[in-house]
Amino acid sequence: MSARPVTGRRRRLAGIVLLVAASLAVLAFPFRQTWWGGWVLAIAEAGVVGGLADWFAVTALFRRPLGLPIPHTALIPANWELMAARVGSMVGGRVLTTEYVTREIARVDVAELLARGAELLTPGDLDAGVRAVARWAAGQLPTESAAELAHWIRQRLAREPIAPILADVLDVARRHEWDERFIEAAALALATSLERPGVREAVSDLVDGVVGRYRRSMGVYSNLLIGLANALGLIDRDRLAAALQRALTGVAENPDDPLRRRLSDLIAELPERLRSGDALAKRVETAKSELLQRPAVAQLVEDAARGLHRALAEDLARPDSEVVRWVGRRIEEARLALVSDGSLRRELDRWLKGQAVRLVEGYQDRIAVFIERGVHALGPAGAVRLIEEHAGDDLQFIRVNGTVVGGLAGGAIYAIHLLLRLV
């Protein structure tokens, strides 16, 4: 049943009570000279006055009584903008306070509720849900999204400093000893590549180039000595390449190799140098900017994004999608951990509640503005209709109570008057 018909019935009830009081006054008027007639007339008249006064007060909240331009009437339509602002500030600043939200969410064990929900799920439910989401995602990957992804990647790379990111990557690599594995793998790969004739020939040419530039920069006697050493076979390109290969093999196989230790120390120093904003960090940022401006790099990023997009779309469309399987396994592991690990649930509960409090703190002003705009959007007529629908019944009972209380007060006053006359 809607609120408007109920309010209409209450309005009719208030009108009937007022009409009864007025009728009683008319009927008692001929007997006003008697004590009981005067007493009934006093009750009826006071009831009429009380009912009319409360009718005026209730009506003045929403509209002008009888359409007359009486001051301080139609209060809600005249002040609905101020009312919207006060409702927003009250909810945002007095209701949704940090203390209130903290107290309310402390009563709920959020993680326990999640754990109960996780117990109800089965691996089949998770698999079906992930596959449904994957099918939807596959249909939401248009071809042009690859170009958008490439554009987004380039924008983020250009906007975000790369040096701190590299520093974080190096820290993670050192914690997991990936830097040692990288040095070992790189040294082994270089040592192996020197066994190829083409690579060895390139190294020999590099040695010749270095020796030639050194000779051109030296004086006559030093140049003669280098030429004599070269003529006597003391500068052997193959011997130098073999020595380089042995050195690289030592770096790869011996963790205590001095060169390997030096490389490890250099990698350990890089994060601090990258974060400190020194010359290295500046060179890295400059190199990043120059690379992003080159068409080849832009094309490389776009090709990578397009390839990633194509591979992802094809994988999601397959019944045996690797992505779906991987995501399903991760979700199943999280579900089992949530069900079985009490400490994890407590930590999750604490984190969720902390996030809720921070969310309210961060968006408290926005919530107030949102509520204010919502009330403001109602307009004066909408505000009147909303209050009438939700508080109209109580307001009409005010009229009924005004008539009854007014009558009782009038009867009490008249009774005191009669007693004083007898005295």
- Domain regions of the chain by residue span: 3-83+363-422, 126-321
- Other Cβ atoms within 10 Å of 235 Cβ, number: 15
Tens-place pLDDT, residues 351-364: 888 888 787 777 77
Calculate mean pLDDT across residues 263-277: 80
pLDDT at 7: 55
Report the alpha-carbon distance of residue 247 to residue 260 in Å, rounded.
Answer: 10
Comparing 151-160, 197-206, 392-401, which segment has the lowest mean pLDDT? 197-206
Comparing 82-96, 110-124, 210-224, 409-423, which segment has the lowest mean pLDDT? 210-224
CA distances for 284 relative to 173, 178, 336, angstroms: 19, 22, 44
Q: Which of 411, 419, 414 is nearest to 44 (CA)?
A: 411
Calculate mean pLDDT across residues 364-388: 71
**What confidence tier does 322 reach under pLDDT thresholds 50, 70, 90?**
confident
Tens-place pLDDT, residues 175-191: 878 788 888 888 888 77
Please give the biggest Cα pair distance in the chain.
152
Residue 156, pLDDT > 80, answer: no
At residue 29's C-alpha, the angle toward residues 25 and 35, to 5°, is 100
Residue 93, pLDDT > 70, answer: no
**What confidence tier does 11 reach under pLDDT thresholds 50, 70, 90?**
confident
**What confidence tier does 212 reach under pLDDT thresholds 50, 70, 90?**
low
Calculate mean pLDDT across residues 217-238: 52
Residue 88, pLDDT > 70, answer: no
**Which residues, including other chains, have CB under 8 Å from residue 414's CB and lie 6 or more apart?**
38, 39, 42, 43
Exposure string of 358-377, with b = 16+ CB inside 10 Å and e = fewer, is eebeeebeebbeebbeebbe
What the block records as the tokens of 283 is: 């060179």
Report the alpha-carbon distance of residue 10 to residue 394 in Å, rounded.
Answer: 9
pTM of this structure: 0.39
**What confidence tier does 5 reach under pLDDT thresholds 50, 70, 90?**
very low
